[in-house]
Amino acid sequence: MMSPEQAVVVSILICLAGAVLTLLVSRSKTVAGWLAFLITAATAALIFSAVAKVLMDGPSPHPAAFWVMPRFGFALRIYVDGLTAWFLLLAALIAVPAFFYSIAYMRHYEHYSVARYYPYFLLFLAAMYGLLSTTDMMWFFFIFWQLMTLPGYALIRFESRKPENIRAANKYLIMMQIACAATMVGAEVLAVTGAAVRGTVNLMYDFDTVSANLPLLLSTRPMATAFAFALFLVGFGIKMGMWPFGQVWLPDAHPAAPSPVSAMLSGVMIKTGVYGVMRYFLWLVPISAQADYPLARWGMIIAVLGTITLFTGTMQALKQEQSKRLLAFHSIGQIGYILLGTGACMALLPSASPVTSALATIALFGALFHVLNHGLFKGLLFLNAGSMLHATGTQDLNKLGGLMKFMPLTAITALVASFSISGVPLFNGFVSKWSIYVAAIQGSGSARYLAVCALVAILTSALTLASFIKFFGVSFLSRTSTLVRTKAETGRLEVPWMMQLPQVVLALFCVLLGVVPAIAFSLMQRVLQASRGGLGTLLANVAPMKTGLLTGASPLNSAALLVPIALTAVLGLMFLLAYGISKLGRAPRRAAVPWLCGYVREADCHRYSAHNFYGEIKRYFGWLGGAPHPHAGKKPALKELT
């Protein structure tokens, strides 16, 4: 039986070998696709077993060292604690459907070879496994970061005949290098006074060493330490798409990549930034340094940045008319929620009162849960957008309409994802947002700004809803557009089952976690108990929630509660009642065309398209930026719309 650390290293090696193998068989798209999928599935199985072991039996006592070169402070030490396990779980959970989806999806790229797809995609995955589990803040951080960035760059510019994709990829590359530099400079600042503290090996950039030196550094050089943490926030903030950095690269990069890659970029890659913030700001700082570490102030900064991020990202998303660009802006928006939860946790953690520190844990639960949920629903949404692209050949929402009639299964999964991201009760997004609101509003007794942050978050969730009503409405509902009608005449629009299956699986996860959130809450409880390092120990000691299938979720002070199963039952009964009432009169039913107020036929120029939605709101927030078209910033001419 492998230890969790060995399992991670083996997974990375399998991915690297897989990259070579898929390159060799890349002549055949199908063979390469299946091979890549099987490799991913194998690593996912390894990762799942490692995660299960960590969450059931607890983590290993020490990081496992695989390759140590003491003279340079260079060591591949891998450690899988609860926090790492949670993010690894997310990576494997999204990677499997994304790779499976790729098999059929990549066939429609007639002019591009998959030799520049699967190998890079596998390297990208390997890098994420590594980045999430290495304990080295310098060299192996750099190696894994570059291993993630460079294949990511190649994947974003996969469709290299479109100049805008090249520009998007270049932007991504530059931003990621800045982020890498910022984070490494930060690590250097923290390590510069490092001495051998533990054992004989001088691993000056290792988490253990840095963590052990931190109390001294915090008390003697507070400004330098604060500078280092600010650099971490900038570096990981760029990665995760935090305002103002996210707007620079993210909305261009995500739409440029092939859809399964977009799903991984948005679902998993940007979460490595979240992981970094959580790891460095909470788990790196030992409890003994608490007095000198301005945790609450960092919490405030992160919570406020999160609030700005969620509002700006979502408001800019509201202006979008390209399906994947819209989703990319929403990634920024949803990252804002995660940051708000993380910030609220940090702001509330130093409190002496047990109720408030329980709220801190609930805030972190909200953030961690939203990390998983966002991976599930945003991954699904990008696959939906990919299916729409596959069927119609366009990302332009103005040209779509009435797809539900032609691709019903994709439509239903897109509706589930839209409901999840908008926080409709009984879907997973609601539960994580609920946790964040509960913590932020109840915690506003000790950190007053949190009430306003929570309110902005509630308002933003209405904006998210508006945006997804538009996204779902104009593409799947509304009326068939000329483009869709033409496409439907030439062939079947619904995607093949191999693309449907991953969408259905992700949609089922969204519903399952929404109706039975107790699964996620009890997992997260184990996650915290299995990651006892630094300030994380404070979080691990609290069990803030009562959860269960029938009792739902409720904080220990019982001041809030959510029992989705009861709500499902009541809503279901009321649905039946409404159905019964509608059948009372035994009214006959007939299909007809809508009344066009006397016009005889329907033309595309009379349709109400994505461009027309929410004109007043868009006008009032015009100053906020977020052009609906990536580069020119020009509005489409009327001719293009029709």
Q: Does 424 bind another protein (CB under 8 A)?
A: yes
**Which lies closer to another protein via its Cβ, residue 461 or residue 531?**
461
CB of 256 to another protein, least distance (A): 29
Among the listed ranges 62-70, 151-159, 199-207, 420-428, the one in contact with another protein (CB under 8 A) is: 420-428
Report which of 354, 490, 514 is spatially closest to residue 426, judged by C-alpha positions: 514
Q: Does 620 bind another protein (CB under 8 A)?
A: yes
Q: Does 384 bind another protein (CB under 8 A)?
A: no
Q: Does 587 bind another protein (CB under 8 A)?
A: yes
Distance (Å) of CA 223 to CA 227, 228, 285, 291: 6, 9, 16, 15
Q: Does 515 bind another protein (CB under 8 A)?
A: no
CB of 118 to another protein, least distance (A): 37
Backbone angles phi, psi at 63, to 5 degrees: -60, 150
Q: Does 500 bind another protein (CB under 8 A)?
A: no
**Which lies closer to another protein via its Cβ, residue 106 or residue 359?**
359
Q: Does 437 bind another protein (CB under 8 A)?
A: yes
Q: How many amino acids of this chain bind another protein (CB under 8 A)?
A: 80
Distance (Å) of CA 531 to CA 46, 62, 150, 286: 20, 12, 31, 13
Distance CA 353, CA 446 (A): 10
CB of 409 to another protein, least distance (A): 12
Q: Does 445 bind another protein (CB under 8 A)?
A: yes
Q: Residues for the chain: how many in total?
A: 642
Q: Does 111 bind another protein (CB under 8 A)?
A: no
Q: Does 582 bind another protein (CB under 8 A)?
A: yes
Among the listed ranges 260-268, 363-371, 508-516, 602-610, the one in contact with another protein (CB under 8 A) is: 602-610
CB of 568 to another protein, least distance (A): 10
Three-state SS string across 198-210, please? CCCCCCCCEHHHH
User: Are the CB atoms for 518 and 548 separated by under 8 Å?
Assistant: yes
Task: Give, as ranges, the residues between 558 and 577 that touch another protein (CB under 8 A).
Answer: 558-563, 566-567, 570-571, 574-575, 577
Contacts of 291 (CB under 8 A, 6+ apart): none
Of 462, 519, 543, 549, the one binding another protein by CB under 8 A: 462
Q: Does 578 bind another protein (CB under 8 A)?
A: yes
User: Are the CB atoms for 89 and 527 separated by under 8 Å?
Assistant: no
Q: Is 329 left (phi over 0), alpha (psi -120 to 50) or beta?
A: alpha
The DSSP code for 607 is S
Q: Does 613 bind another protein (CB under 8 A)?
A: yes
CB of 76 to another protein, least distance (A): 45
**Which lies closer to another protein via its Cβ, residue 223 or residue 592?**
592
Among the listed ranges 4-12, 142-150, 263-271, 401-409, the one in contact with another protein (CB under 8 A) is: 401-409
**Which lies closer to another protein via its Cβ, residue 223 or residue 591?**
591
Q: Does 444 bind another protein (CB under 8 A)?
A: yes
3-state SS, residue 553: strand
Q: Does 346 bind another protein (CB under 8 A)?
A: no
**Which lies closer to another protein via its Cβ, residue 72 or residue 608?**
608
**Which lies closer to another protein via its Cβ, residue 452 or residue 519?**
452
Task: Give, as ranges, the residues between 523 and 552 that touch another protein (CB under 8 A).
Answer: 552
Report which of 189, 10, 34, 191 is spatially closest to residue 101, judged by C-alpha positions: 34
Backbone angles phi, psi at 75, to 5 degrees: -150, 130
Report which of 162, 49, 34, 52 is spatially closest to residue 523, judged by C-alpha positions: 52
Q: Does 504 bind another protein (CB under 8 A)?
A: no
Distance CA 583, CA 589 (A): 11
Of 598, 616, 638, 639, the one binding another protein by CB under 8 A: 616
Contacts of 305 (CB under 8 A, 6+ apart): 233, 237, 242, 243, 339, 343
The DSSP code for 63 is P
Distance CA 500, CA 378 (A): 16
Name the burial class of residue 482, with classes exposed (0-12), middle (13-18) and buried (19+) by CB atoms within 10 angstroms of its CB: middle
CB of 597 to another protein, least distance (A): 8
Q: Does 622 bind another protein (CB under 8 A)?
A: no
What does the block give as tokens for 517?
């959130």
Q: Does 455 bind another protein (CB under 8 A)?
A: yes
**Which lies closer to another protein via its Cβ, residue 2 or residue 577?**
577
**Which lies closer to another protein via its Cβ, residue 579 or residue 634?**
579
